Structures are given as structure tokens and as C-alpha cells.
Structure 1
């Protein structure tokens, strides 16, 4: 499906298209000179954020709703403080101080950004940037992809970035556009939205690298706010412009900002400090003389043959995301098929709805459906091959919550696929899923929990108390202030008290994970820890699925990390643990480790080296890092999982450093 948002792509070279955009940006800049003068007058009068009062209040309200504001700022609100003054104070605090997860969220956003390769008449080479805005949709500029034919001959390369130690990329992944499924372009707004083909494993790129949700709502930026641009300037490896930058002016369809970019940044996302996309970068703004002629670095009229590097730039320009979404909505007004495709952009875009990101909870089933007249068979998992890994060790995966009704063999394949991605990146041998032991307790956990109440029924009073304790501790660790004096509020500030002191909403806002997923995860941990009979039933099922002799390398996830710690107290000398790897663990919370059978935050002597990994936006791992509380931990690392898979075990295992820790134990 190819739709143009104007009269159709013009027959022009890539350079001519870019020059047209540069000249148009310069004309808009000249036309907005009077508004810039007003902004500068407000700035000279002492306004740090010289925007309209209503926009300041919208921005502050959005920051409060997202729990981006330190609670102490709100709790210290003065009864006589005006709304504009309070708004400026709130915005100023969020600009000056950032939560530590600012870095992790930036890494998560950066993973969605790709280097675009295509030909402009010569060989295919890296020339621009694009970013995923849905699992299978990529956004870039019209002057990058002016038509479906250009997109059809291009590819998007993910992971083209320097490693932590300035090592070159070990592994990049390429995906091809699929303009026959969807290609929407608009020359005036300089954007193109194109579908992407899935990879060899059938997954679209956004299921691997995540995607940046586009938000139609206002309040994402005010004049004076910083902006951050991630892209591939001049086709180089991925870079970020994060210093000496600010949003300077809002036009009807575009934003102007000061930051360092180069021509290869075309198609880069422009973010606010909450890593929400506010614009699609498309052009620099050139200096001009009184006649409107573009000037070169010598202050003389610029000629195209001098090259873009000789232009004197005064600002940068991006297309407003809200305007792009409005244009897409207009294109889809009378097209049901197009509306269906655009629904993948999510509810925040205003173009459709998608199912809430939540862990599926299938109806419980019998452990194994017996044949007629036969006795039921208890599923305790699937076994690995005895001779695997040279017979030296057994690799054991210990799953987390909400796995009831699933096939253990299929789950094992999913874990192995994630691990093999990481092992490949690390240059280590991959594993055969059939060599892995996969104890399975998912059905048994639901069965014993349902012995007293359905899974969605209220918890027992003791379990509910533990759930509330877990949620409160997690929210506190995420920065939620303790209840204090009442905030004096009016108009748009009336919701502040409830917003500041609502733990589930606070955690959801700080991690980007759906509230129902967080609620279900902490409920299951509470239910497991609350009752000895539940705990014993789970441990017996896991023990039945373990190899009879070791040593074993135990890889545990989520609730499985809690089960693993209890399991270490039940294993005898016949099954020593050669190494323990935990991922997405809630073990850093007092309410968890104080109730473990190991008797506190220390690793039993039966276990070998312990490696922990966590994602700062994973709500279950919010008590991490563990080194502050636990003894016996050999090493741990943070990783940046895709935003819609922050707690996903496949995402954890696909990281090179995590796979390396496992691969080395397998020898």
C-alpha cells in the first residue's frame, strides 16, 4: 500500500530534495522572527522557560502524572504559590535532576534507532536514520524514502554502535522495508512511514529491539526544555546529541532547537528528557541574508556545488510528532484497511488501540490430559540429554510466574533461542534446547493457589498484607515519597496527592510496564512466600524435574529466582550448583529476602559463582542491584531491555554479557 500525502513524489535527486527542505526551513525561520523576539524578551525578564502559561501548566501536569517529579517538591507546595510559578519550579527540577533510570531509558530508546542504507545512484551505503514506532513500522524522512521503490532497495541496520569499552559492534542485524504492505509519505511534512519485513525467525524488528511509542497528547515540551537526538550522523555508528541543547521555538508543524546534528541525522528521533519522541529531525536551519539567500561559512551566498558542510547553520528543525499523527489520521479517515495497519502505533497515537501489554494468563488445565481410561500424568518438566556439555554439567532453566497451561518443551525452546542470540554475539558455542533441563511448576502453583480461591479472587489477608508491603517497598525504592503533609492544590493540581502516594501507578510510570503486569507479578511472589504448603508444593515439583546428579548450572528468572534460593536449601551433595544466574529478580527487597528459607540475604555454600542481571525498567527487579544487600554475589550487570519486554527472559538472555556468564560455566 503506497499513499502520498501530497501530489506525489517529485522526480528529483536526493540532494535536490534535501536542499528544498533546507530552504523551506530557512523560510520558516525568517517568518517566525517576531515570535523569537518575544521569547527572548521573556527570557531577558528572567523566565527560564519562556513559553505560554497554559503550556507550562500542561507540561508540569504531564510530569506529575508520569511521576517524574520528586515527591518532596509537591509536598512542599506553598498555598500562595501561583500555578505558573509552581509549573516553572516543577519543570526546572526535572531538567536539573534525573532519576538514575534516565540512562537505561535512553539506552532502551536508542535500541529502536537504525542506520538506513540505500543507493543514490551509486553503491548502497549508510546515509540516514530511522526509528521503530511500532513492532513492524519504521519512521524516517520523505527525502530519505521519497517513494516505495527507494524503500524497497534499502535496509535498516540495528545495533550499529560502539560497545561499552569502545569496541566495535560485534553483531548488527539488518531488516528490509516492506513498502508493498505499507508506505505512507508526505513531502511537505517530510516524513515516510514504512512497514518492515520480519527477520528469519519470523519476528518483526520491534519485537527484538523495542519501539518508540508516538504520543499525540500535548505537554511533552516547553520552550527552554532540553532535547536529545539519537542518530547516525554522516552514516557513522550511532551517536547522541545530549549536551548544550534546548528547544527554542514552536511553529505550527515544526519545532526549532539548538543541538549538534549532521546530514546523516535525517530521520532521527528528537526526544524530551523523559525519552518521549517530540519530533522527527529532518533539516538544519541555515543562516540567511536580508534577501533570504542561504549563507555559507564565509557569510557569502551559498551555492549547492559548495556542499552542505559549507552552510552556516543557526538552528535545527524537526517535524512535530503530533502533526505527523494528525496527518496519518487524515489519510486513514475513509480507509478501514489503513486504520487497521496504523492501529499498531498504539492508543497513545490516537490512531487505534492495541491490547494492553500484559502477561497472558491462560485458563488452568490438567497437568496432562490423559487418554480415555488412563491415569493423569504429572508434568514436572522436560529433561536434558545426559551427555550434553561433555557430561561435565547440566544446564537447568527455572521459569517464573504465569506459565500455567504452557508446554514446557516450547518454553525451553524460547529460553534457548534468547540465550543462543547472546552466545552468538559473544562468539561462544550455542546450545541445543534438548540438552537443557526445564523443571515446570506453573500448573502446580496455580493448582495450590486455587485450592482456596480463584486466581483473580482477593488474596488471603496475610498474602494481601505481604503484597501491599512488596508494592510499597518497590514504590519507595523507585523514589515515591512517604506520606507527608497535605498538598494545597487547585485546578489542574487537584490530582497531586493521589498521584504522589499511589504505589502501583508510581511503579508503572517509572518502568513503563502495564499496571496489570506489575500487579500480577507481585501477587504471585506474595502468594508463594505467604504459605508454606504453596512453597512446599512448588519445590517438590521442581525437585522432580531436576537431574538426579550434578553439577548443575541454574538459570532462574522472576519468581523462579525466589524459588531457586529456597531450592538451594533442599539440594544435597549429589546435585551441587556449579553456577547460579538470576535475571529479573525481586531478591533485593527486604520483604522477599527476609522470608527466604536461606535465612536472609546470603548465598548458601552449596552454590558456586552467582551472577545477577537486571533491567532498571523491570518492575520486578526494582530492588536491584543486589550487591548492597546480599553476600555471596560474584558479579552483576544492568541491561537495557526493550520497553515492552523489560521483564522478558528472552530479552535478558540475548544480552552478550549475560550469555557470556552462562557460556563460560558450560565450559
Structure 2
């Protein structure tokens, strides 16, 4: 791959840069004194998280969707009539009662953090921290690596930890490949540099994992704790957790209260869900009205007094959402775009679009809270508490011999003579009762509608075609090998592969293309023979599937099975005809329909719309979690390419950047007929879930607009 680097201010001295950045951090703190006073007043008034209501609502929604709040706490909070108070209590419950997964997740996140060593005047010493944000990309500070030449003379050590007995463990060293990629920015104080493969040819991220950067909203509010993992003063890895909190959210930086030392430069700052929220770069000094740094005695500090004499008031890191957007702007060449694509779709995702139609007026925003660079989320309706409890998941039927169920109709004209709501589900719904699935979908939608102030939808008004049992029966004839536990655990790509050679070929090509669109380097897709007698599936699909799963956070078997089902549907004419006939049996025969489709249902839906003929008219289409951006998919649709049927006047597409199935999104620029499209910030561990999509205000607002709903 062609090399690329952007050297920034390489001639400036290290101490001069450090002084400039420290002074700038102090100036930002001093300029925000008015905001700090308002925050402290809110805290004195009893607000545990003294942020504005919109920020609290975003954070609470993200925590509920991620399952980070105990069910018992949600039940107690659900009766709270004040949305802002309820949101605060949700956030508080998440902070106070951490699940047992908090520690192993922290261990996994800490493994991605390395100790940076530099060489100067013939002496090698530990100087800073960095962390992996892609298999071969490491993020640290500009003042650590102001230019590519500095990075070339350094190396990073992973696993520089202590064992359970307190004794040091042996670390693993990787050199930097600054000639392959390097970019840095002094203002945001970041440097992103490629890491060379290890002696065994494996990328560092394939050994130690990496952090998926996420530019979406709702990861932190004022008062939330932050967790920092790094190598203070070059020591073995240390963690600062719990007794820390966010003090200020500024345009480009976060300022927080926590203990760090100089070697923490370049450390990741995590929230309690171990999502990266900032890149730590330095302490914030107290300063006087003239901008002069003060010492611990209240006098003017001088360099001769040393860092220990500085009166430090906070620590500061660059907001990861701002860093991500700045990085996207650096992709000026094909080589740069190819490398930055490895950060994943979450990093390159545009800010969420505002929901339509307009929501009710929001509570007065705090004028001192800076904008985030993205439109605000839909405000909470002032008189309606948010639906806090997650919907109950349907229970599978007890017997495989249960009868094959079909869809259930809704009440005609419930939304008017030309608007009937149709939900079209995706894969893996066999063994569920259609009535339960319809309630689950409706509960998710009602969560989003309530947040926007719209009336809720009665499940009985929704048409719900059901082809889950039929598809499962058809897929049993396509199983290539018995999916025993060992095979599923070792290689889910092979376990999920269709038996038909043509379907298997399509399945392999879909996985490969999806992985490439997710940023997998071409060399990572090279064939390798693992020595198993399972055919080409093992050799071709293992790496693309691993990349998709690790890049999105979605389980490998879920990703493999989703693409398997799409491949079988598109390749097997008998399966395709049976599924479409089953769906048409439940879709209204006349009037207008608003079709909401998810996952494989978006593929089925496109075929359905292309073949409706003289049936119902179409008021609009909403797709979420769609694999429609892959040419291996849309080339085989009844639409004969990425062309929305002309009978559909409006089409909204929503996608979560961490969704391992919606890799081909965004669709704009590929498909014709798309009216509106936006990314939404589903939680990473539920990125593909339909109720997570429907509860997002952008998606719920689009459905409300197509149904002609009006706010209360």
C-alpha cells in the first residue's frame, strides 16, 4: 500500500509545543468559568449529573438500549413523571451498579493499550502511551509523535503489565510503520500511525484487539465517571477508575477530574461501558487573568520550578468524536482513504440527521453548553415519561414439530384509508409467535414515538407477515455440514455455509465484499489453508468473517448466518417464491401501505415492491439494518440493480455504523430513489436489533411522517 504521512510543525521544539498546548488547556478552562459556575449551581440544586436535558436523554437512552441498567431499577424508575429526573436516575443506576462484565470488559480494553518507547541521544526510555484503534493503527498524541521521523525511531510495547503475583509480565514489541501511514494535528494533539506486523506476520490488533472509535452521541454527560488506562511515568500499565468525573464538555475537548502523570500522554479515556470518549493529552493548569500558569502556592509558575509545582485543576483530552471527524477530512488520497477505512464505518459515520417531522419544543438549552458538531437528538416530551423498560423478548415454542405459522393482519384503515403499517421481519425468527414479534416491534417504535411526543401505535393495527418458520424449513435443506458445537465455535463461517455450490459462492463473495467495504486490507483476505476437510469456505471466508465480527462487535455466527440467509434467498428460486408468496398473503390487497423492513426483510421487501403489480399503492418505505449496499445483493434483486421501484414515492434508510449486516450503508450514491438516510447510534452489543433501530428518534420520526401522525 502506498505510504502516506503528514508532518506537522516538525521543526518546532518539543518543549515549545508542550508549553503552547498547556497554556491553551488553561485558557480553555479559564474561559469556561461561567459554565463551570452554572454546573456547580445545578449540582448544589441536587442534580447529580448537571448536564442539559437533551444530553441526559441521549445518555439514558443509550444506557437502556445497551442493557446497562438493572431491570429492577428500570421498573422503579418507570413511574417517574419527570423525564429529566428519570434520565438522571437511569444514569445514576448505571454508575452505581456495575455488572460483573465491567471488569472483564476493562481487561479487554486495557489489552489494546501500549507503552511507547523513544530513542534520543542513544538512550531508549518509556515516554508515553498509545492505543490501537484498528488492527494496525495506533492513536497517541502529537506532542509524542510530532512527525513521522520521530515515530520511526520509536516502538510500542503491549502487555507491559503485572501478573496476579505482582511480578512484571513479558511485553511484546512492535515497531512503527510511519512510511505506510502517519498523520498528526497539533491543535487536537493527536497522531495516528501505522504499526508494523510482528515477527509472525500478525497485526498487533489481531493479537491484542483494538478499540472501535464511535463518533455518535450519548457516551458521556457532565458528572459521569471516566476511566483511564495508561503507563504513567513509563511504569507498567495502571488504571484510574471510579473516583473520576467529567467536569466540562467543550467544543473540541473534555476536561475531567482524575489522577494522571506525564506518561499518561496518549492514553484512552473510557466511559463505564469501555467506549473511548477522549484521547488524554495533559493536565489543565490554574492560571491568572493574564493567562500565566500558577504554582501550588498561588504565585506565577516558572519552568525552573518543574511540573510538580504547577497548580493543576483538571485533566484534558481531545473529544474522540472530533478527532474522528478531523481524521475523515485527512482522507485526500485513495491510499489515505483505504487506510482510514480500517477505523470502521462508525468512525466515518456522518452526524445523525434530525428526525422529521419536527418534534415538540425542547426545554431551554444551557447557553453555556457548546454544540457537538451534530444536530441535537429529539427532545423528550415534557409531559410523557420515556418508555424505560426494554421490550420482552419472544419465547421460542417448545417443539420443533409445532405447526408452521403465518402472518397476522392488522386493522384496516387504522391510520387512514391510504396508510396501513406493515412490518417485514428479517432472519432467524423461526420458533417465535408472530403476535409476540409484532408486540416487540411495536414496543420499539412506541419508545421512539413517545420520545418525540407522538401518540403510540396499537400492535393490533399493524400487519405482520411471518415467513420465519417457512424460511427455516427451507434452510434446513441448505445445511452443508452438521453444525455441531465444535465446528460452530471453531469456524462459524463453515458452519453457516449453504450446501448449494452457487449459494455458497454467493455467500463467500458477499462476506468478502462486506469485509472490504468495512475497511479490511486486501492482503488480509488472502486465502489460507487451515488443514480442515471443509472445502474452500474455511480458506476464503474465515478472515472476512473475523474482520466483520471484530469490527462491528456482532457475534461471528450472527453475521455468518445473516449473510447465509440472504445468499440462499437470492440464489434459490424455490425459497424466494415461497417466501414472497407467504408475505403477499398478509400484505393488504388494496389501499396504501407504509412498509418497514429490517435485515433480510429489506431484501424481501425490494422484491415484494417490484412485483406488487395491481395491488396496494405504496405510501413510503423505511429500511433499517439493510445489506442492500453490496452489489452481490442488489444485482440479484427483482429491481435489476440499485433502483427503487418508481411506485415508491418516499424511502428512508437508517443504519447503525456498528451493525455487521448493514456494511454496505450508507446507500446514498449507490441507490436511486432514496429520499432520506442517516446513521443512528445503536449500542454496539445490539447494533442490529430491530427494537434498537425503531426506538431511535430518527427512525420513529420517519415512520410517524409517513403515517401522517401529529404530535400530541
Per-residue deviation at 1:21? 1.5
State the partner residue of 1:413: none
Per-residue deviation at 1:497? 12
State whether residues 77 and 89 of structure 2, in contact with CA within 8 Å, keep that contact through their aligned partners in structure 1.
Answer: no
Task: Label 1:102 to 1:255 Cα distance change in 2 as closer, same or farther (>3 A).
Answer: same
Match of 2:451 among 481, 491, 500: 491
State the partner residue of 2:291: 292
Q: Helix, strand or coil for the counterpart of 2:339?
A: helix
Per-residue deviation at 1:69? 2.2
Give the whole-Å Cα distance in 2 for the aligned partners of 1:198 and 1:344.
15
State the partner residue of 1:341: 339
State whether residues 558 and 620 of structure 1, in contact with CA within 8 Å, keep that contact through their aligned partners in structure 2.
Answer: no
Per-residue deviation at 1:338? 1.2
State whether residues 243 and 259 of structure 1, in contact with CA within 8 Å, keep that contact through their aligned partners in structure 2.
Answer: no
Per-residue deviation at 1:240? 0.4
Moved more, 151-160 or 21-30: 21-30
State whether residues 115 and 160 of structure 1, in contact with CA within 8 Å, keep that contact through their aligned partners in structure 2.
Answer: yes
Give the whole-Å Cα distance in 1 for the aligned partners of 2:455 and 2:161.
42
Q: Helix, strand or coil for the counterpart of 1:46?
A: coil
Task: Label 1:618 to 1:62 Cα distance change in 2 as closer, same or farther (>3 A).
Answer: closer
CA distances 1:233-268 after superposition (whole Å, capped 9, x unpaired): 000000000131000101111000000000000000
Task: Label 1:347 to 1:83 Cα distance change in 2 as closer, same or farther (>3 A).
Answer: same
Equivalence map 1:587-666=2 (5 Å): none
Give the whole-Å Cα distance in 1 for the aligned partners of 2:121 and 2:453.
57
Give the whole-Å Cα distance in 2 for the aligned partners of 1:496 and 1:111.
45
Mapped pair 1:156 → 2:156: yes
State whether residues 342 and 351 of structure 1, in contact with CA within 8 Å, keep that contact through their aligned partners in structure 2.
Answer: no
Q: TM-score, normalised by structure 1?
A: 0.55
Task: Label 1:77 to 1:311 Cα distance change in 2 as closer, same or farther (>3 A).
Answer: closer
State whether residues 74 and 487 of structure 1, in contact with CA within 8 Å, keep that contact through their aligned partners in structure 2.
Answer: no
State the partner residue of 2:225: 226
Per-residue deviation at 1:65? 2.2
Equivalence map 1:217-616=2 (5 Å): 217-332=216-331, 334-350=332-348, 461=401, 490-491=450-451
| C-alpha RMSD of matched pairs (Å) | 4.2
State the partner residue of 2:104: 104
Unaligned runs of 5+ in 2: 351-398, 406-427, 434-439, 459-467, 492-552, 558-657, 660-712
State whether residues 4 and 335 of structure 2, in contact with CA within 8 Å, keep that contact through their aligned partners in structure 1.
Answer: no
Q: Helix, strand or coil for the counterpart of 1:124?
A: strand
CA distances 1:194-238 after superposition (whole Å, capped 9, x unpaired): 011111111110000000010010111000000000000000000
CA distances 1:252-296 after superposition (whole Å, capped 9, x unpaired): 110000000000000000000000000000010012233322122
Task: Label 1:464 to 1:56 Cα distance change in 2 as closer, same or farther (>3 A).
Answer: farther
Q: Helix, strand or coil for the counterpart of 1:85?
A: helix
Give the whole-Å Cα distance in 2 for the aligned partners of 1:152 and 1:67.
43
Q: Helix, strand or coil for the counterpart of 1:117?
A: strand
Task: Label 1:93 to 1:150 Cα distance change in 2 as closer, same or farther (>3 A).
Answer: same
Q: TM-score, normalised by structure 2?
A: 0.51
Give the whole-Å Cα distance in 2 for the aligned partners of 1:133 and 1:493.
38
Give the whole-Å Cα distance in 1 for the aligned partners of 2:153 and 2:39.
44
Task: Label 1:77 to 1:96 Cα distance change in 2 as closer, same or farther (>3 A).
Answer: closer
Task: Label 1:183 to 1:290 Cα distance change in 2 as closer, same or farther (>3 A).
Answer: same
Per-residue deviation at 1:303? 1.4
State whether residues 77 and 488 of structure 1, in contact with CA within 8 Å, keep that contact through their aligned partners in structure 2.
Answer: no
Per-residue deviation at 1:67? 2.1
Per-residue deviation at 1:556? 6.5
State the partner residue of 1:67: 67
Task: Label 1:471 to 1:71 Cα distance change in 2 as closer, same or farther (>3 A).
Answer: farther
Task: Label 1:70 to 1:185 Cα distance change in 2 as closer, same or farther (>3 A).
Answer: same
Give the whole-Å Cα distance in 2 for the aligned partners of 1:177 and 1:464.
58
State the partner residue of 2:52: 52
Q: Helix, strand or coil for the counterpart of 2:165?
A: coil
Give the whole-Å Cα distance in 1 for the aligned partners of 2:242 and 2:97.
15
State the partner residue of 1:166: 166
State whether residues 75 and 487 of structure 1, in contact with CA within 8 Å, keep that contact through their aligned partners in structure 2.
Answer: no
Per-residue deviation at 1:3? 4.4
State whether residues 7 and 147 of structure 2, in contact with CA within 8 Å, keep that contact through their aligned partners in structure 1.
Answer: no
Give the whole-Å Cα distance in 2 for the aligned partners of 1:495 and 1:205.
51
Task: Label 1:321 to 1:272 Cα distance change in 2 as closer, same or farther (>3 A).
Answer: same
Unaligned runs of 5+ in 1: 353-458, 473-479, 499-518, 540-554, 562-616, 622-642, 645-667
State whether residues 4 and 336 of structure 2, in contact with CA within 8 Å, keep that contact through their aligned partners in structure 1.
Answer: no
Give the whole-Å Cα distance in 2 for the aligned partners of 1:222 and 1:167.
37
Q: Helix, strand or coil for the counterpart of 1:490?
A: helix
Mapped pair 1:206 → 2:205: yes
What is the aligned length?
A: 407
Give the whole-Å Cα distance in 2 for the aligned partners of 1:495 and 1:60.
21
Per-residue deviation at 1:97? 0.8
Q: Helix, strand or coil for the counterpart of 2:123?
A: coil
Task: Label 1:291 to 1:76 Cα distance change in 2 as closer, same or farther (>3 A).
Answer: same
Q: Helix, strand or coil for the counterpart of 1:279?
A: strand
Task: Label 1:213 to 1:620 Cα distance change in 2 as closer, same or farther (>3 A).
Answer: closer
State the partner residue of 1:135: 135
CA distances 1:348-367 after superposition (whole Å, capped 9, x unpaired): 11269xxxxxxxxxxxxxxx
Give the whole-Å Cα distance in 1 for the aligned partners of 2:199 and 2:252.
39
State whether residues 23 and 291 of structure 2, in contact with CA within 8 Å, keep that contact through their aligned partners in structure 1.
Answer: no
Task: Label 1:53 to 1:560 Cα distance change in 2 as closer, same or farther (>3 A).
Answer: closer
State the partner residue of 1:390: none
Give the whole-Å Cα distance in 2 for the aligned partners of 1:106 and 1:337.
34
Q: Helix, strand or coil for the counterpart of 1:282?
A: strand
State whether residues 79 and 488 of structure 1, in contact with CA within 8 Å, keep that contact through their aligned partners in structure 2.
Answer: no
Q: Helix, strand or coil for the counterpart of 2:246?
A: strand
Give the whole-Å Cα distance in 1 for the aligned partners of 2:241 and 2:275.
14
CA distances 1:314-352 after superposition (whole Å, capped 9, x unpaired): 1000000011011111222x4232111100001111269
